[in-house]
Structure 1
Amino acid sequence: MQEIFIQNSKQREWLGRLSPLEADFKEKAATFDKEGNFPHENIQALRKIGYTKVTLPEEFGGAGFSLYDAILLQEKLGSYDGSTALSIGWTLMTVGELFENRYWDPDNLAFFAEEVNKGAIINRAVSEVAMGSPIRGGRPGTTAKQIDGKWIINGRKNYTTCSPELDYFLTSAWMEEKETTGFFLIPKEAKGLSIEENWNVIAMRGTGSHDLVLENVVVDESDLVEIPSYNTGFKLNGWGLLIPAAYLGIAQAARDYALEFANTHSPNSIKGTIAGLPNVQALLGEIDLELYKARFALYGAAEAFMDKDRNKSITNEALVAKHIVTNSAITVVDKAMRLVGAKSLQLTNPLQRYYRDVRAGLHNPPMDDLTISKLAQTAIQQYESQGGNDNENE
């Protein structure tokens, strides 16, 4: 089904580079989930094929993949192993966003491009227990104080996905002297930086989303790489679509399992397989309908972000795509489990893992309630700006 969204040979070539990893990633996924271990081998395999720099522009030595290109890859990788796709997705997102928007000064971008070309991976460390989701506007409890030309950083971040393999932590901290939030580029070797391995949840168990602990971490003035113009420490952007792409891949894996089951399961109460039963065909049709809906929303939003003319009129497209994809993924897995029946609840069955994993998407920003609220606010603002009140007085 993804085939109709492939647009060129470059995309096809990179999808081909991922293919040899499929069997191994799928085979190990259940073990990583059961033991709650991080898939180090998977990340290293992705580094080896250059996957970590696909969103780095060609002028900096990367593959120069667009948002649309990267979504194709992330969806495919998500069908192999959701935890691996989500883990590496934050690096692809961060690199793509940084270099497209040129958030940093040229020297810092050039330095970091060299690191990415060497295989370095990165994630923003933003979330904290006290502030909740950063998208809701809370101020970081993590602090950065300036002493003798250095910054001293103290604090704790949670949900630091891919932490066991990250080379850099792009960390938000409140700077009292400047009365604003800044992002500091902190290498994993920094003294006082540690990872508290406390990620123990029922979904995406292999993402290593542990706590980042910072105790008197000293960085140079130049490591203050970004002072956001927005005031929440978090900004929605098109590159965020790489995250729901991973959940779409999981949904595709659930669909494929259900389709194979329907075409091979043959109870002695019927002739042939259950694929011929009307109720089974109804579920398969509903599953594919959800996948089509999700893909058109996701890839359509990506194309809108990439079109400079259309980009100017974008409001909530990324939020809408994320909402549709995440909820469609949940629906797809649910219907796949209904088709397969009680067998889907067995711990040896991948559907129960898919079921748990796709629900994690509800808790990646933006959350559903924020999307619905933003849509309503936008509709009201557009009505008012178009003189809606004047119409009532005519």
Structure 2
Amino acid sequence: MKSGLIQSDIQRKWLAKLESVKDEFQSHSEYNDLHSRFPYENIEWLVKEGYTLLTLPKEYGGEGCTVEDMVVLQSYLGSIDGATALSIGWHLSVVGQLFEQEMWEQSMLDRFAEQVKQGALVNRAVSEAETGSPTRGGRPGTHAVENDEGYLLNGVKTFTSMSKGLTHYIVSAYSESDQDVGFFLVERDMPGVEIADNWNMVGMRATESHDLVLNDVQIPKENFVEVRGARGKKPNGWILHIPSTYLGIAQAARDYAVDFAKEYSPNSIEGTIGDLTTVQQNLGKMESLLLSARHFLWSTARMYHEDVEDALLWNETSASKVLVMNQGIEVIVLAMRIVGAKSLEMERPLQRYYRDMRAGLHNPPMEDMAYTNIAKSILGRI
């Protein structure tokens, strides 16, 4: 990453640390992808070194990074290993939003901050097979029944990224007694918590986003931590961890194609394929797409620390994800054109970059919803 783009001491420190383990992280990538194996070693290092404290505010003992810091670091980590970056990004995003927007009671925030400092890993478990993406507003089939000891949870959550590595799950469920959708803090070692071990996807295979199965999971009353929408809906810059990861994957594809163009020299030409006009055109287009995606994403992240109205933040955040995904996919397609049929070899990472990048289309916000919400905003209908 070019030094001129680095803006803070946190970025400098962590970029250097990530650079030091780049080869080690990447040494597991091919095996983890082929076997749908979670990058345990990578995540363990990130926890041990304190990367999981990045978005925890300083007053709680964390690093207190900005959204811009997170976007820069997640972009670089994504270029090293996409599954690692997306997995840990969910934790960073959840922690960042929880504490910035003070979404829980203070006593719960204090308690959870201590758990995060002790190595806790958290993600929201909100998707279900019957409702699809939770961002589309469906009522969860997971039920919370109030009893004398608190709440009894039953249900199945899909797409639980980092499922086997998590210590805590923030589970959405419908409470019959409250007649509302709430979020419940579930700990991994609670009786009745199971992982279905059924993740078998084309892309992001190493995230092990298995189903979370809840069978009569008893939780204390205080673990009913949120009521959906009770505190209003605010722009969430921490969700930019998603396009950041995929920007990194596109960057990795670009880097691979550039190195290949510099080195590959078939005997049918003088020099390398990097001397061919067609290849140079694709390289130039690929670089331009990356530059525009990077600047748009990073400028959006910076807006979260400036005096910007909420409507603009919502639009910029949604558009950032859509633009990064669409241009990132185009970057990888161009990289594969440069490398040619060799790009399909399983021993080369380009085919993994392509599969992982496609998975990002289904991370929130989805393109149709992003465009609809932006349109409603500019029409004054939100």
TM-score range, shorter chain: over 0.9
Which residue is equivalent to 1:331?
330
Which residue is equivalent to 1:98?
98
Q: Which runs of 5+ in 1 are unaligned?
A: 386-394
Which residue is equivalent to 1:88?
88
Q: How far, CA to CA, are the matches of 1:266 and 1:147 in structure 2?
A: 71
Which residue is equivalent to 1:175?
175
Shift of 1:375: 2.2
Q: Are residues 329 and 313 of structure 1, via their aligned partners in 2, closer, same or farther at CA, if it must alter by over 3 Å?
A: closer
| Aligned partner of residue 36 in structure 1, secondary structure | coil
| Aligned partner of residue 160 in structure 1, secondary structure | coil
Q: How does 1:59-98 map to 2 (within 5 A)?
A: 59-98=59-98
Q: How far, CA to CA, are the matches of 1:309 and 1:315 in structure 2?
A: 10
Deviations 1:92-112 (A, max 9, x none): 000000010000111100000
Deviations 1:263-319 (A, max 9, x none): 011112221111111111111111111111111111111111221345574331111
Deviations 1:171-210 (A, max 9, x none): 1110111111111111100100000010001100000100
Between stretches 299-308 and 242-251, larger displacement belongs to 299-308
Residue type at the aligned position of 1:108? M
Residue type at the aligned position of 1:278? T
Which residue is equivalent to 2:347?
348
Q: Are residues 156 and 68 of structure 1, via their aligned partners in 2, closer, same or farther at CA, if it must alter by over 3 Å?
A: same
Q: How far, CA to CA, are the matches of 1:140 and 1:379 in structure 2?
A: 31
Would you say 1:32 and 2:32 are equivalent positions? Answer: yes
Deviations 1:209-261 (A, max 9, x none): 000000110011100111122699x9862111001111111111100000000
Residue type at the aligned position of 1:19? E
Which residue is equivalent to 2:357?
358
Which residue is equivalent to 2:252?
253
8 Å Cα contact 1:304/1:311 also seen in 2: no
Residue type at the aligned position of 1:62? G
Task: Tell me the TM-score normalized by structure 2.
Answer: 0.96
Residue type at the aligned position of 1:198? N
Q: Are residues 231 and 141 of structure 1, via their aligned partners in 2, closer, same or farther at CA, if it must alter by over 3 Å?
A: farther
Q: How far, CA to CA, are the matches of 2:26 and 2:313 in structure 1?
A: 37
Which residue is equivalent to 1:388?
none
Which residue is equivalent to 1:111?
111
| Aligned partner of residue 315 in structure 1, secondary structure | helix
| Aligned partner of residue 119 in structure 1, secondary structure | coil
Q: How does 1:11-50 map to 2 (within 5 A)?
A: 11-50=11-50
Which residue is equivalent to 1:379?
378
Q: How far, CA to CA, are the matches of 2:146 and 2:165 in structure 1?
A: 29
8 Å Cα contact 2:10/2:65 also seen in 1: no
Would you say 1:165 and 2:165 are equivalent positions? Answer: yes
Q: Are residues 188 and 235 of structure 1, via their aligned partners in 2, closer, same or farther at CA, if it must alter by over 3 Å?
A: farther
Task: Tell me the TM-score normalized by structure 1.
Answer: 0.94
| Aligned partner of residue 247 in structure 1, secondary structure | helix
Between stretches 365-374 and 309-318, larger displacement belongs to 309-318
8 Å Cα contact 1:155/1:214 also seen in 2: yes
Q: How far, CA to CA, are the matches of 1:236 and 1:146 in structure 2?
A: 32
Would you say 1:302 and 2:301 are equivalent positions? Answer: yes
8 Å Cα contact 1:181/1:231 also seen in 2: no
Count of matched residue positions in the alignment of Structure 1 and Structure 2? 382
Q: How far, CA to CA, are the matches of 1:368 and 1:160 in structure 2?
A: 21
Q: Which runs of 5+ in 2 are unaligned?
A: none
Residue type at the aligned position of 1:375? I
Which residue is equivalent to 1:392?
none
Shift of 1:327: 1.1
Shift of 1:32: 0.4
| Aligned partner of residue 155 in structure 1, secondary structure | strand
Which residue is equivalent to 2:140?
140
Q: How far, CA to CA, are the matches of 1:312 and 1:138 in structure 2?
A: 24
| Aligned partner of residue 169 in structure 2, secondary structure | strand
Between stretches 34-43 and 132-141, larger displacement belongs to 34-43
Residue type at the aligned position of 1:263? K
Residue type at the aligned position of 1:253? A
Which residue is equivalent to 1:390?
none
Q: How far, CA to CA, are the matches of 2:182 and 2:5 in structure 1?
A: 38
Q: How far, CA to CA, are the matches of 2:40 and 2:161 in structure 1?
A: 13
Q: Are residues 217 and 2 of structure 1, via their aligned partners in 2, closer, same or farther at CA, if it must alter by over 3 Å?
A: farther
8 Å Cα contact 1:55/1:66 also seen in 2: yes
Which residue is equivalent to 1:121?
121
Q: How far, CA to CA, are the matches of 2:224 and 2:185 in structure 1?
A: 7
